[in-house]
Structure 1
Amino acid sequence: MSSEVEAAFQAMRDLCRLIPTGGLKDRERVERDMEEMISRDYEPYFSGNAALHLLAACQRCGRCCREEKRVAVTIEDCRRIARHLGLSQKTFIIKYTQPHAFKGAAVGSARLLCKAEGEPCPFYDPFLPGCRIHPAKPQVCRAAFYLSKMNLLFCREEREIKAIPDCPADALLRERLAQFQSKIKDEPGERERLDALFTSPGPEVELFLLLLRLKGLEIYFGGDRAERLARRLGLPRLVQEDELREGALLYATALRYGCLSTGAKKKVTED
């Protein structure tokens, strides 16, 4: 067995340390609430894209910063970015944001970063290169591209997870997945073990899948809602990205192999 595969299995087992004495609490209710936030109809694409998000490393090429027409920010985003810049929340909102172009409950209190048409994001710096507030960037930027609403809709419609055009981070990730897949192919019995791991998951894998989905919700909706779900499960904290990353590599590889198929095309494609 390759060391990477064994490390991924061990990382999944290590997640069990987070379970409180007596097991997870109110799990069925929490999973129903998670279902209301993101329907299971989006699986395995939602969890698959969450896994890819954890594995990809932004190359700070600035494509998103230059091409996005609007950048929405939540109040939580404003608070976090203001703190990162050493500003008060009020000062940040006045200086850097404007009212959202849309109204209604779906938008809520969200605002837009001040950005002239055809201009890059105000926090894009071509000399870095990339985002000046990268550690505190808005939720929509953190979710792009894998967990953007448009990508999730596209994956569900096409029934597969395609490569993201012109994204160097995604290209590097696809190369890494191909190399890892090749290692598994060269190890006798590893492909079968990977298939069994996710088609008949044990308790450690079931916990990993729950926490991966919860992490995806955190990335998509923000930390506040995910933290409330974690507390209701009895977890001491939200799981960290590093704790899921090795398991995410196995999950993404299983998607690439088609191990999660149920007769339909559900995989990570190379093109």
Structure 2
Amino acid sequence: MTEGEKDPKEVAVLLLKATMLPDGEVFPRFDQPKYTPADYTRMACHILFRCQRCGTCCTTGDPIRLRPEDAAQLAKHLKIPLNRALKKYTIPDPKKPGVLDFKHILPCKFYDRLAGGCKIYAARPWSCRIFPFLGVYGSSDQVVVNPSCPGSVETMEILTRAMEEVQREQEGYSPSTEEIRRSKEHLRRVLDEL
């Protein structure tokens, strides 16, 4: 394991604990988002994921959706006014009122073929940040892995093996509610760091 990589078994332990109790039992306040076990699995996958820079996400994503905060971040990153960024780079999503899409896709206008990467990586939209572990957080009950992304396939294999190993090693172990809450909070911070 190289510096910066996470130990799959440590991530599996976090995931195992985080999925032992529903969020409602751990976060009784109404202002806390409620996530499903699949959501926590996605969060764990993001910890382990290593982009292999194949470009699949940048060359096949259609549409590439933007939230209002994504458009604002793009404008700030490009050092242009928001209205100019909206006019130059976005269109309204015809299927989702209030949602924006990038104008230029297939490949994404910000994909650099020569460098094999995104020119706006630090300001990439949420839809790009959560790729390739797709789903609607808080409602989806399964993790959808994009099979054309070699990094996602590898991540799921690594996490699955680590989960199986941890489950065998910790059979009969019952963490406290506090340990479960801390594991959930740790994984939730992953979303903020994407």
Structure 1 length as normaliser, TM-score?
0.53
* 1:127 aligned counterpart, secondary structure: coil
- The equivalent residue for 1:113 is 102
* 1:112 aligned counterpart, secondary structure: strand
In 2: Cα distance, 1:5 partner to 1:148 partner: 22
Contact 1:97 1:114 in 2 (8 A): yes
Contact 1:47 1:212 in 2 (8 A): no
Residue 138 of structure 1: how far off its partner (Å): 0.3
Which string of whole-angstrom CA distances, capped at 9 and with x for unpartnered residues, describes residues 6-44 of structure 1? Answer: 9x49x97xxxxxxxxxxxxxx41246x523xx5xxxx32
In 2: Cα distance, 1:127 partner to 1:73 partner: 25
Count of residue pairs brought into register by the alignment: 175
The alpha-carbon distance between structure 1 residues 140 and 163, as it changes in their structure 2 partners (threshold 3 A), is closer
Superposition pairs of residues 211-230 of structure 1, within 5 angstroms: 211-212=185-186, 214-215=188-189, 219=191
- The equivalent residue for 1:91 is 84
Q: Percent identity?
A: 26
* 2:71 aligned counterpart, secondary structure: helix
Q: Give the letter aligned to residue 53 of structure 1.
A: H
Structure 2 length as normaliser, TM-score?
0.71
In 2: Cα distance, 1:74 partner to 1:202 partner: 37
Q: Give the letter aligned to residue 167 of structure 1.
A: C
Aligned partner of 1:205 among 179, 184, 190? 179
- The equivalent residue for 1:173 is 155
- The equivalent residue for 1:266 is none
* 2:115 aligned counterpart, secondary structure: coil
Residue 143 of structure 1: how far off its partner (Å): 1.3
Residue 128 of structure 1: how far off its partner (Å): 1.2
Whether 1:146 and 2:133 are equivalent positions in the alignment is yes
* 1:98 aligned counterpart, secondary structure: strand
In 1: Cα distance, 2:186 partner to 2:169 partner: 22
Question: 5+ unaligned residues in a row in structure 2: which ranges?
Answer: 1-6, 15-26
Q: Give the letter aligned to residue 148 of structure 2.
A: D
- The equivalent residue for 1:29 is 29
- Looking at CA atoms only, which structure, 1 or 2, has the larger radius of gyration? 1
Superposition pairs of residues 4-43 of structure 1, within 5 angstroms: 8=10, 27-30=27-30, 33-35=32-34, 38=35, 43=36
In 1: Cα distance, 2:91 partner to 2:8 partner: 48
The alpha-carbon distance between structure 1 residues 205 and 147, as it changes in their structure 2 partners (threshold 3 A), is farther
The alpha-carbon distance between structure 1 residues 99 and 5, as it changes in their structure 2 partners (threshold 3 A), is closer
Looking at secondary structure, tell me which structure has more helix per residue.
Answer: 1
